[in-house]
Structure formats: structure tokens, C-alpha cells
Amino acid sequence: MTLDRRRFLQLTALGVIGSVAETACAPEKASALAHPRLVEMLGAERVRQLGERYRAATPAENSAEKLRDAIARGGGLHLFRASVDDQINDDFSNGRTVVVDGWILSVTEARQAALFSLSPA
Amino acid sequence: MHTDARTLPNGTVLQADLCIVGAGASGITIAREFNNSPVKVLLLEGGGFDFDPKMQELYRGDIVGLPYFPLQAAALHYFGGTTNHWAGWCSTYEPIDFTKREWVPHSGWPITRADLDPYYAVATTIVDLKSNKWDALDWKEGDADRVPLLRDSKLMWTKMWQFSPPTRFGVKFRDEIVKSPNVHLYTNANVVEVEANESVNTVRSVRIRTFDGKEYHARAKRFVLACHTIQNARLLLASNAQAKAGLGNDNDLVGRFFMEHFEMPCGELALTDPRATKTKLYEFVGLGSTPRGELATTPAAQREYRILHGTASVEAGNYGDPVKSTFQALDSGMVDRLRRWADSGRKGPPPFAAEFAALAPKDKGPPRFYHLTTRQEQAPNPDSRVTLSTEKDALGVPRARLDWRVTPLDKHSMRTFYQLLGREMGRTNTGRVQMKDWLMSDDMSWPSFISGGWHHMGTLRMSTDPKEGVTDSNCRVHGISNLYIGGAAVYPTAGAVNPTLTLVALSLRLADHLKRSG
């Protein structure tokens, strides 16, 4: 597949802007990562349990570093996404869901719960 | 006119133009359509005007296959039929319910929703509904909080229910029937056999028997069996003097495709923001009261995901409440207590009030957790069937034997429903959905509380092809020129909602056909 000059420039521009947006949002995103909005809905204890179950079912993501990587990778090509919440909404819109203890969760928020379960109670 | 059949001399022969067997919602609806007309109608009711345990016992039958509740508790055998204890929940079948869905084996009605539309309009008045409007936006009732959830969804929508008071046909229409100049009601007139001519292509008469051993015959130009889904099939199977397999059963279809609606707790909903999310449209206020919505799969979702038609009620509660299925909540003991409560003038709270109160949300402020209870059609299944028992009832008729069976598509559809609902609740950030454990296991494992809604459908399904159905598009039994079926026995598929409103509409349509073809 060839990439014409105009398309190349578009992608490059998006890439630059996307990187800037990611960088600018990084502290906010890190904070959001540590405070899943699921906690408000389901309570900290239940979210911790969900996180543990996710990690048990997904050994390849059983560390904070791997989970953060997976969440970042989950952002994928969506360069303008401002927050984890946007990423979660995007997961639901595109059917990227997992079932953990019966709860239908976005992949990102399941990983977020897993990350949460690794933090001190 | 009314006569207690027990007072007739043995050997009496009754004569009419039209003989309707069974005075429940269907039989009474059809009879009323002929009231004050030149057509002489016999309306034969097995029971009397009141509940009688001895009469009810005639409905007892064998249960094999999946667990089911006692047949003598599920349908009532006296004037007014099962409307004497129905709860009055009404909604229309959707156009997709009538279509041939290639992912649902044996689906497709020989009529469309448009064929029933004019009759739905009349049926709503018969069962005393507020109107024939069914769009959620028609039912705001001046309350800005009565708005549907997931309004932009392509997968889910809000299907509306209205609540009949509930209309007791035996009470509401008793005087009209008894005073009719041309409809003659006979109570305590149990039909024990449908008698055909030698060629078995025309019914000549029905044979009636009473507990004291007397027998009568009723002759008519045309006959409608409007007993009840299970009893209609039983009567045809037991009418085997001329046709060994029973009347209308040349293709071994009578009794097959028995269907129920699953009514089971399947999940929980946790709202993201209970203060901002309006759920008032989904509240159950009471029978005969404000309509409410249930979340349902759109036709597009059913097609795309190849699933059956289902809905879920959304009822505020507490996470982990022991929510019961219909069969659990309304076991036969509870039904007896409810009947006694209703018979005594509904004094005091209903028998289930304390149990319901215990499930009330304990949250201060708007509740966060909601119980999701499924209401779903089951896929038509030829192996789910009514046959005859080896045991006979007090009138000498073989009892019914019910073998209720389900298919993998039933559970697959239920699970997919919750996955889609969870996805849409998440996409809109309305909340998160949890499925019950049992829903995630394999498609043929069902919990002990598997439940229907005491909605009996199928057994004499409609089809234009006699090899696919017992009755044609006018509810006439294939191969028998003057025998018709009234009631939910003719449903080829069950739809997602309770059958009674559609049953009344279909009975009105049958009455129209009988008038036109008379």
C-alpha cells in the first residue's frame, strides 16, 4: 500500500498533536488511572475484587507496569482522546468489553480495576 | 340466556349455528361479537361462575421435562377462565414477532402485525386500558422525569406496558352474556370429545359430560375450541374415535411447540449518577395504574446478533437482594392466598406485600442499584409438547402431560441481551450491568428457578402449510372445514410480552372471519 504525500502529512500532524495532547494530559490521566470511576458506582472493595479477578484471568497483565502499558496501548490510534473516561466510552462504543464477575466492563476499566487492586487498600 | 347443564335431561341435544367451547377471554370475546345478531350461539363452559376445586382438578396433569407448576393452578376452569386471576399486564407484539426470522427455527406467522392492528385498538378497550398508544413518549403523564433511557441506542429501546385493572371477563361480561337473546351460556358443561364425521373433515358435534354421569351433545354448523392452550390440545388429542392420533393431527403437530415466556431475574444495574438518571418511567406503580417501560432489544439488534426477542424490567432495589423468578414468587400456595385475598374484597395488604417491602431500596436518596428481570420469548421447539397421560380425569378424559423444553438459543439470547445492555449502559455512561452467574454457563444449563410466566402458548400453531401448523391463518384446523381454535394455542411464536392482549385481538379477528364467512 502506498502513502501519498498529503496523507503522510496528515498523519504526521495528527501524530505530533496527539503526542502533545498525551503529554499535556499525562498527570491528569495518571490520577484518573488511580481512581477508577467504578469505585463510586460499585464501592472500593468490589472494584478491588474485580481487579483481582481480572488479573487472575489475565496472567499476562498481572503487574502495574503491564497494566499501564496495556491501557496506554488500548488508547491506540485515538490520538485526541483526552482522558481515561473517553477511552472507556470508546471501548463500549466499539464492543471492547470484558465480563468480570458478571459485570460487563470496558477493557480499559477492567485493567484500571486491576491496577487499583494492586494499590494499598 | 344461561342454563346450568346439570339440570338438563340425560341425552339432550343442543343445536346452534356456532358452538364455542370455553368461556374465558377468547370464548367470551367471540361470543360477544355475535350478541344481538341472528346467529344462534352456544357458549359451553366446563365450570360454573365460581372457583370450584373439583372442577379445577380436571386440569391436573403430568409434568415431565423441565420443572413446571401444577397445571391445575396455572389456568382457571370457570366462567371468565384465567382472567379470573390474571395480573392484567398488557403490551402489543411487535411487527418483528410475526416475521420469519431465519435465525429462529419455525418462526413466522401467516399474518402480520398490520392484520392485528385494528383489533388491538378494540382489545385495549375490552381490557380497560388507558389508550392504544404504546410509544414511551406518549406516556410522560406530565412528568418530565418519565423519560426513556438509552434514547439514542440502535440496540435497545423502551417497550411500554399498560395495566388492565385487571379486567375479570367473568365479572365484566356476565350480565351481557346471560341476558343475550341469542348467546346461550351453559355452565358445568364439560366437553369430553369433539366428534367428526366419517371422513374426519367436518365436526358434527361435541360430547358433554357432567360429574353425575349425564351426557349431552351440542351440534352446530361451526365450532370454536377456546378452552386454553393446554386443554385445547388435550381435547383434540383425546378426540380419537375417528382419527387415532386425534383430530387435526394428521401431521403429528397437535400439542407440539408448547411455549412460555421466561420470567427470571438475570442481572443488576448500577447507575453512574443516580441523581442525574431518570428511571421513573420504569417504576411499577400498580395494576390498573400508570404504564411503565421495560428495556428491550430493537429489531436491528435481534437481526444483527441473531437473538430472540426479550425485555428487562428495571426495578430499584439493593445489590444482592434475593429477587425471585415468577414461579418462585407466585407458587401455587401464593396463588391460593391471593385468590382468598381477592375473594374477601381485597381487605388489607396483598399477601406478597411484606416480601416486596423487604426489597425496597435502603439507599437514602435516589437508588443506585436496580434489579433486571428478563421477559423473553422461547424459541419454538417441536419437542416441547403436550401429550396425553395414561391417567384419566373424573370425567374419563386422559389428563394432559406437559413436557416443557427449551433450546440453546433461549439462553444464548438472554446472555446476549445483557451483554448488549451492558455495552449500551457503558457507552452512554448511564451505568454498568452485571449478569447472574448462571447466565454465563453453557447454553443448556439452567438454574433450578427456571421460570415461565404461566403463559401457555403454541400446541396448535398457525401456518399456511398443514405440515408446519395445525391451524391456518384464520385459526381454522387444517383439514376440518368447521373447526376453529381461539386463544394462544395458535401462536407460532411467543413474542416478548404477555399473551392476553394479543389473544383478545386475535379472537376479535377470528370473530370477524366467522361473520364474513358465515
The owner of cell 487499583 is: A116
- Is B332 found in the same domain as B186? no
In this structure, what C-alpha cell is assigned to residue A43? 464501592
- Is B490 found in the same domain as B349? no
With a cut of 50, which residues of chain B have pLDDT below it? none
- Is B97 found in the same domain as B185? yes
- Position A79 pLDDT exceeds 60: no
- Is B84 found in the same domain as B28? yes
Q: Total structural domains in chain B?
A: 3
CA distance B417 to B409: 12
Give A106's contacts in chain B (Cβ within 8 Å). Answer: 426
- Is B300 found in the same domain as B442? yes
The owner of cell 378426540 is: B239
CA angle A105, A110, A114 (to 5 degrees): 155
The pLDDT tens digits of the residues spanning B37-84 come to 999 999 999 999 999 999 999 999 999 989 998 899 889 999 999 999
Count Cβ neighbours within 10 Å for each residue of B459-471 and write b for 16 or more, e otherwise.
bbbbbeebebbbb
- Is B180 found in the same domain as B98? yes
Q: Which residue of A has its CA nearest to B423?
A: A92
The whole-model pTM stands at 0.92
Kindly state whether residue B112 falls inside one of the protein's structural domains.
no
Kindly state whether residue B50 falls inside one of the protein's structural domains.
yes
* Contact check, Cβ <8 Å, A97/B437: no
**Residue B420 to chain A, least CA–CA distance (Å):** 9
CA distance B388 to B491: 21
A37 CB near a chain B CB, below 8 Å? yes
Task: Report domain extents, chain A.
Answer: 5-118
- For residues B207 and B191, is the Cβ–Cβ distance under 8 A? yes
CA distance A95 to B115: 38
CATH code of the domain in which B502 resides: 3.50.50.60
**Residue B280 to chain A, least CA–CA distance (Å):** 20
A110 CB near a chain B CB, below 8 Å? no
Q: What is the mean pLDDT of chain A?
A: 77
Q: Which of the listed residues B449, B469, B499 is the one where a domain comes to its end?
A: B449
* Contact check, Cβ <8 Å, A103/B426: no
Q: Given this model, what pLDDT does residue A10 score?
A: 42
* A56 vs B353, more confident: A56
- Is B274 found in the same domain as B247? no
The pLDDT tens digits of the residues spanning B253-270 come to 999 999 999 999 999 999
> Which is nearest to B73 in space by CA: B45, B51, B88?
B51
Q: Given this model, what pLDDT does residue A16 score?
A: 36
Amino acid at B341: W
- Position A25 pLDDT exceeds 60: no
DSSP B446: -
- Is B266 found in the same domain as B236? no
Q: Given this model, what pLDDT does residue A28 score?
A: 57
Kindly state whether residue B392 falls inside one of the protein's structural domains.
no
Kindly state whether residue B412 falls inside one of the protein's structural domains.
yes
Q: Which of the listed residues B449, B466, B501 is the one where a domain comes to its end?
A: B449
Q: Which residue of B has its CA nearest to A90?
A: B427
- Is B412 found in the same domain as B350? no
- Position A96 pLDDT exceeds 70: yes
* A9 vs B212, more confident: B212
- Is B281 found in the same domain as B220? no
- For residues B193 and B239, is the Cβ–Cβ distance under 8 A? yes
Q: Which of B427, B437, B439 to mutate to test the interface with A (most CBs of A within 10 A)?
A: B427
Give the A:B interface size as CB pairs under 8 Å.
56
Kindly state whether residue B469 falls inside one of the protein's structural domains.
yes
* Contact check, Cβ <8 Å, A91/B440: no
* Contact check, Cβ <8 Å, B432/A89: no
**Residue A34 to chain B, least CA–CA distance (Å):** 18
- Is B229 found in the same domain as B313? no
In DSSP terms, B42 is beta-bridged to B19, B184
DSSP string, B280-338: GGG----TTS--EEEEEE-HHHHHHHT---EEEEEEE--TT-----HHHHT-HHHHHHH
Question: Containing domain of residue B9, as a range?
Answer: 1-57+77-102+168-253+457-518
Give A95's contacts in chain B (Cβ within 8 Å). Answer: 423
* Contact check, Cβ <8 Å, A97/B440: no
Give B271's contacts in chain A (Cβ within 8 Å). Answer: 41
B440 CB near a chain A CB, below 8 Å? yes
- Position A81 pLDDT exceeds 60: no
Kindly state whether residue B387 falls inside one of the protein's structural domains.
no
3-state SS record for B92-136: CCCHHHHCCCCCCCCCCCCCCHHHHHHHHHHHHHHCCCCCCCCCH
Mean pLDDT calculated for residue range A13-24? 38
B152 CB near a chain A CB, below 8 Å? no
CA distance A59 to A62: 5
- Is B87 found in the same domain as B6? yes
Q: Given this model, what pLDDT does residue A82 score?
A: 63
Give B436's contacts in chain A (Cβ within 8 Å). Answer: 102
* Contact check, Cβ <8 Å, A92/B423: yes
**Residue A49 to chain B, least CA–CA distance (Å):** 14
Reported in sequence order, the residue ranges of B175-214 that DSSP labels E, i.e. its strands, are 183-187, 190-196, 203-209
Q: What is the ipTM of this complex?
A: 0.89
Pairing outcome for strands B431-435 and B398-404: unpaired
The pLDDT tens digits of the residues spanning B105-131 come to 999 999 999 999 999 999 999 999 999
* Contact check, Cβ <8 Å, A89/B422: no
